[in-house]
Chain A
Amino acid sequence: MLRSCLRRPYTIQHAITPPTRIGLRVRNASTNKPPSTEPTPRKLLRYTLKPWAAPPLLARYPLAHQTVQFLIYGLAGCLAFHIFFEYFYVLEGAYGISMLPTIASSGDCLLISKYYRRGRQLGVGDVVSYKHPIKAGEYAVKRILGMPGDFVVAETPGKGVGRMIQVPEGHCWVVGDNLTWSRDSRMFGPLPLALVTGKVLAKCSPLWPTRLEHELKPAVIEEGDVD
């Protein structure tokens, strides 16, 4: 009964042409009979009592049918995009100077793979995006320096006594590439791996995409650095 109510419309005068499915024609096109007039209030009453006898509901109001179809396709599209961005890949813009020179201060889009969320198959040197532990609702991008069990220097090398800390289980130590201007685990401590949302695979500078390198390299000290 529901199926007969929602069946796609037969061809009536000035109505839309039903789209074909998998290259096939609409079935049962010959068996449907168009009504002779618009539904009158008496006819509507009769169909209220016997809904299976009515012509398909949405066929009587082609504009409503068109709208409902559009909304359903729109909803399906939104759901598909949401699930893809949440569980597969997403492109995000990044702003800030803490990852120079790897990621520019603005204008770069990052391709983030959600396969690596919550620390799955991550290692030292990976550039990851994570939910900020202090500022709720914000995200940040830094490089992993230590996985659970590793020993890391908890301060900036060259400043302070060089105190080392062992990264507790379930946490990681993240540091930005631009050490002088980065607020990272040196300030807020080890980051729980549950906050990691994904690994940054590549960045799209405005002109061309570049793959990011996920390995540690010796630091480059620029002349004229502000201390």
Chain B
Amino acid sequence: MSTAPNVIRRALNGAYTLTTLTLFVSGTAIFLIDNVAETTRIIGESMTPAISPDYNTTGASDGLLFNKWAPSLRNLNRGDIVLFHSPNDPEKVAVKRVIATEGDSIILDARRRPTRQRDGAELPETRAWDSMMGRVVMVPEGHIWVEGDNWRNSGDSNRYGPISKSLVQGKAVAVVWPPKRFGTRPWEGFRSRTKVTPGEIPRDGEGAGLINAIRNG
């Protein structure tokens, strides 16, 4: 009953359905992963013991679900875990905790002095950090101060300074891997030794001159 033209016709129809279905599904997946939510594995030990606690012994990394919906990224609170493009390498993505938001004044934690990893030698970043240590540093407008929980081994704002909020891609929602910790938020309740005095960027008054000049483009 199925003649040759029939077979070809059905094969072409099947191919058409398959192609459109693939394009539809991949297009939706790309849109969702870019704009709505994304899961990613946290490699590295900069956020232990809250996230990836066994990374330096077994190499096991946690998977986290991040909320990438842009309106909810506008208000970042102190203590949130954020996913952001690394300022020193545009192709790398980093996960750290927000310690201070714009306008806050911070006093650096003396344990987090950045030195070279393998032998503790001084780096250019060490000099910059030393000039900020002991003074009160204000986080500029539109920027945030991020730090990794593990003060022994973390490349964060102590190394590259406050980062722009526009670099932030997502905010952590919950752990999704390993299954026994699914749905938990193990990073809550962290007490940072970096002292933060909440504050706001002055919108009117003497301090507002340059800031308003930049804002009003």
B13 — which chain A residues lie within 8 A by C-beta? 21-22, 24, 27
A86 — which chain B residues lie within 8 A by C-beta? 34
For A169, the closest partner residue in chain B by CB is B88
Output the least CB separation between B25 and chain A (Å): 10
Q: Given contacts A24-B9, A24-B13, A134-B214, is CB(A193)–CB(B90) below 8 Å?
A: yes
Q: Is B27 an interface residue (CB 8 A)?
A: yes
Complex Cα–Cα for A131 and B21 (A): 34
B86 — which chain A residues lie within 8 A by C-beta? 170, 194
Partner of A135 from the list B34, B70, B87, B142 (CB cut-off 8 Å) is B142
Q: Is B182 an interface residue (CB 8 A)?
A: no
Interface range on chain A (Cβ under 8 Å from partner): 35 or more
Q: Given contacts A170-B86, A183-B214, is CB(A195)–CB(B167) below 8 Å?
A: yes
**B142 to A134, Cβ gap below 8 A?**
yes
Q: How many A-B pairs with Cβ below 8 Å?
A: 90
B10 — which chain A residues lie within 8 A by C-beta? 27
Q: Which listed segment binds B: A51-59, A77-85, A208-216?
A: A77-85
Interface positions of B from 192 to 217, Cβ below 8 Å from A: 210, 213-215, 217
Interface string of A178-216 (1 = CB under 8 A from B): 000001000110001111100000000000000000000
Q: Given contacts A134-B141, A134-B215, is CB(A195)–CB(B164) below 8 Å?
A: yes
Complex Cα–Cα for A140 and B12 (A): 47
Partner of B164 from the list A96, A134, A169, A170 (CB cut-off 8 Å) is A134
Output the least CB separation between A91 and chain B (Å): 20
Interface range on chain B (Cβ under 8 Å from partner): 35 or more
A22 — which chain B residues lie within 8 A by C-beta? 12-13, 16
Output the least CB separation between B117 and chain A (Å): 16
Interface positions of A from 164 to 182, Cβ below 8 Å from B: 168-171
Output the least CB separation between A196 and chain B (Å): 8
Output the least CB separation between B163 and chain A (Å): 8
**A96 to B217, Cβ gap below 8 A?**
yes
Output the least CB separation between B41 and chain A (Å): 20
Q: Is A119 an interface residue (CB 8 A)?
A: yes
**A192 to B27, Cβ gap below 8 A?**
no
**B30 to A83, Cβ gap below 8 A?**
yes
Q: Given contacts A86-B34, A134-B141, A136-B165, is CB(A194)–CB(B12) below 8 Å?
A: no
Partner of B12 from the list A24, A82, A131, A193 (CB cut-off 8 Å) is A24
Interface positions of A from 19 to 70, Cβ below 8 Å from B: 21-22, 24, 27
Q: Would you list 25 pairs from A and B whose C-beta atoms are within 8 A, ordered by A residue?
A: A21-B13, A21-B16, A22-B12, A22-B13, A24-B12, A79-B28, A83-B31, A96-B217, A131-B166, A134-B214, A135-B142, A135-B214, A136-B74, A136-B142, A136-B165, A137-B74, A168-B88, A169-B89, A170-B86, A192-B87, A192-B163, A192-B167, A194-B167, A195-B166, A195-B167
* B interface residues, Cβ below 8 angstroms from A: 9-10, 12-13, 16, 20, 23-24, 27-28, 30-31, 34, 70, 74, 85-91, 140-143, 163-167, 210, 213-215, 217
